[in-house]
Structure 1
Amino acid sequence: MIKSLKKTLLSQNLESPKWSPAEVAVPGCELRHYETSLWASTVIRDESQKEALRQGLRKLLHYIQGENETETKIEMAVPVTCLVQPGTNEYKVSFFVPPKHQHSPPEPTDPDVFLEQRKPAAVFVRSFGGFASVEKFNKEAKILADILQKEGQSFHSDFYFTAGYNRPFTLFNRHNEVWYYKKEIEGLWMAKNILGKIGKLLI
């Protein structure tokens, strides 16, 4: 999985958050340790996850295309994530801010777009290829949750992230992921920070 992801990113020449693989292997998925990183995000409330993602991506694309205080154009990076909370109609769509802007990103001018800092975290990841529909993401998230429960892993089951790594027109070597956060000693604090704004989170 790691080689496949590296191959995909290298072929696109896109930046992504820094992470390292865990020493402990979990069958059927990866466990990654992500470093602190900055993201541009927006929260969309819609009954349709597909429509929420579409609206969120549009707002974030406007931000990186210059809809910010310095009118700076920001290069594309990956992944684009979507925070899903089953049973709700709120979705947080996020774009990884490339390393060049991690420490001094331009402020968004759209009040619905905000910058957030994600703290270091251990994340269970399941990867898959092809074009990912909402139904496919949800199916893979269910598979990952079942794997983690079977393996006795402790994770936050009330939310997960979808992660997309490709431009819409990329036809081959597509890479997609679903993420569940591992419960740590500070698990309650972690969950509060991830879900606590569904607005300006993780700052």
Structure 2
Amino acid sequence: MEDEDPERLLQYWQDVARGHEVDVSQDMAEPIQQLTSNNQGQSRRQHISYTLLCGELLYEKRHYEKGHWACITMHKDTYEQSICYGFMRIMKYICQHNSSGDYLGMTLPIVTVVHTDENRSVISHDVTVAYYLPAEHQAQPPQPYDDDIVIEIWPATTVYIRAFIGPTNEVIIINQINAMAELLDSPGVCVSDSFIVAGYTNPAHSNRQNEIWFLERH
């Protein structure tokens, strides 16, 4: 759909989002088109760099350096609603709703921080959607016009990662978290109640490429 006009792209997003009881407003047409189209040659997705520390058969251990992230915390009825609404707010920030007035460029993955109870059986409704600032904006991140978006510096961290494909909802995420915990030899080395879901395709995509991240304790 990369060469579709903005109205058709908006309609596509609205149709998909309706299944999650998410309203995609008319003012999202331009941001959606910018992120989907070639956008004057700026459509290259910049992947967040990392150092691979260990590549097991079923999971990886990676090290990510310190960096600036644009973050927004949502509190909707479902995880799907939170990530959709949060991602749309982040999209506007990327697409010129920032102090530079420029399209910032897309980085992957877009991540969501989720919190669970001690038994890892329930996900909190507070979900943080985060976007890593491209390399050229790391030194001086453009400030968001949206007061709910905060620029944060995330420290360098080591993460344990397992890939999975498909939709993301509360049940699937809990299952992925527990499956990952069973794979780790020493799950106690990781934070036990906060996890990251990394997405490499937008929330409107039905066959998403995802990862579950366990954060190593500092």
TM class, shorter-chain normalised? 0.7 to 0.9
Q: 2:28 maps to which residue?
A: none
Residues 167 and 206 in structure 2, CA contact (< 8 A), matched pair in contact too: no
Counterpart in 2 of 1:46?
Answer: 76
Aligned to 2:191: 156
Q: Could you tell me how far 1:28 is from its partner in structure 2?
A: 2.4
Q: Which among 143, 160, 164 is matched to residue 124 of structure 1?
A: 160
What is the CA–CA distance in structure 2 between the aligned matches of 1:182 and 1:35, rounded to whole Å?
Answer: 14
Residues 112 and 128, structure 2, Cα contact 8 Å, conserved in 1:
yes
Other structure's SS at 1:138 match: helix
- Where structure 2 has 5 or more consecutive residues not aligned to the other structure, the ranges are 1-42, 118-123
Name the one with the larger strand percent.
2
Cross-structure match for 1:191: none
Determine if the alignment matches structure 1 residue 21 to structure 2 residue 52: yes
Gap regions ≥5 residues in structure 1: 1-11, 188-203
CA distance in 2, matches of 1:123, 1:14: 22
* Structure 2 CA distance for partners of 1:177 and 1:110, relative to 1, 3 Å: same
Q: State the match for 2:174 in structure 1.
A: 138
Query: Could you tell me how far apart the structure 1 residues matched to 2:50 and 2:78 are?
Result: 31
Residue of structure 1 in register with 2:201 after alignment: 166
CA contact under 8 A between 1:82 and 1:161: conserved in structure 2? yes
Report what 2:210 is aligned to.
176
1:90-137 Cα distance to aligned partner (Å, 9 max, x none): 1111012111211122100110001111111110100123x3221333
Correspondence list, 1:53-92, <5 A? 53-87=83-117, 88-92=124-128
Find the partner of 1:35 among 65, 76, 79: 65
CA contact under 8 A between 1:33 and 1:123: conserved in structure 2?
A: yes
In structure 2, C-alpha distance between the alignment counterparts of 1:85 and 1:169, rounded to whole Å: 23
Q: Is the alpha carbon distance of 1:136 and 1:115 closer, same or farther for their aligned partners in structure 2, counting shifts above 3 Å?
A: same
Matched residue of 1:22: which SS?
strand
C-alpha contact (below 8 Å) 1:17/1:35 kept by paired residues: no
Structure 1 residues 171, 49: CA separation in 2 closer, same or farther (over 3 Å shift)?
Answer: closer
How far the C-alpha of 1:71 sits from its partner, in A, is: 1.6
Q: Within 5 Å, which residues of 2 pair with 1:86-101?
A: 86-87=116-117, 88-101=124-137
Distance 1:89 1:119 in 2: 24
Per the alignment, in what secondary structure is the counterpart of residue 63 of structure 1? helix
Deviation of 1:44 (Å): 0.8
- TM-score, structure 1 as length reference: 0.75
How far off its partner does 1:171 sit? 7.7
Aligned to 2:107, the other structure's residue is in SS state: coil
Letter in 2 for 1:166: T
Percent of counterpart pairs with the same letter? 23
**Aligned-residue CA RMSD in angstroms?**
2.1
